[in-house]
Amino acid sequence: MPSERKVFSGRTADTTPPIEFDVTLTNSKGAEKTMTFSAWGTAPANSLLTVSRMGRVTKAGEEAFDVSGLGDWFEGALVPESSERWKAMIADTEWMVEGTLLGEIFQWLQGEWADRPTVPSAT
């Protein structure tokens, strides 16, 4: 016999204040440039699904991380205006971004999302 219909409800990712962060780059001429980006205040489902596909287990049974989805992850993690600026920053050969910096931002933002409550606290 089928169970009673379950109704799920939740908030959209844009109901939580965004998480802002700065990226400062130094080019080969020694010039510095700082850009501010905004990520969704809570982890959007598309980013969670992307990151779930990035983790894998090798034939040797070791965990590995497939970075091919990192671009898609950032595109979904950032609010649209920031996502467009992010893509332009990544493509700019004068201000080439190192891969380790992407990893640092990825890990930091995952931690920020993990530390935020997913529902309002009861009062």
Residue with tokens 């606290």: 121
Start-to-end CA span in the chain (Å): 39
**What are the extents of the domains in the chain?**
34-115
pLDDT in tens, 24-67: 999 999 999 999 999 998 887 777 767 666 666 566 777 666 66
Residue with tokens 């990192």: 70
Torsion on CA atoms 72, 42, 82, 28, rounded to nearest 10: -70
Q: Both tokens of residue 61?
A: 């049974």
Q: What is the pLDDT of residue 47?
A: 74
The pTM of this model reads 0.74
Q: What is the pLDDT of residue 57?
A: 58
pLDDT in tens, 76-96: 899 999 999 999 999 998 888
